[in-house]
Amino acid sequence: MKTMTFKSNTLTIIAALLAFPTVYFIIANLLNEIGIPGPYNLIGSFVESTGGRESLGWNINLLILCGPIAAILLTVFQFVKIEFHSSKEEFLLHFNVQKRWFPIVVTAMSVAVLASIFFYSPGENCNC
């Protein structure tokens, strides 16, 4: 029987840092829409202070989309235990979820962020 799990808080912290720009961007935009422009203006002032004169570009868009995906891939195998056993007659595959709350929270946050992007995009781009 072979077992696959990864246990590392360092990977979870890296995953949280990958998902953070997307979480901040979504929260800043939501707050800007309801009349609280502070966090959204902070993004603009940060870009200007680093010498950026144009929009954030494709690299930040890539981080906003791929950061949560990478976070999910880094964390899901920290709390999902996969066991498999094969013989001539059968192939058994067992998935067990371990109670490791930090990776579970980072994965849930990343899934929620991706779901909000997925459901927001058609509404924003619909010509209805």
Q: Tokens representing 81?
A: 């235990």
**Percentage, residues of the chain above pLDDT 90:** 42
Please return the burial class of 69, using the count of CB atoms within 10 Å of its CB with bins 0-12, 13-18 and 19+.
middle
Cα 26 from Cα 121, distance rounded (Å)? 12
Is pLDDT of 59 > 80? no
Residue 29 CA, chain-centre distance (Å), reads 17
Strand partners, 83: 3, 94
Neighbours of 72 (CB within 10 A): 21
pTM as predicted: 0.77
Tell me: the pLDDT tens digits for 9-30?
A: 889 999 999 999 899 988 998 8
- Domain positions in the chain are 9-125
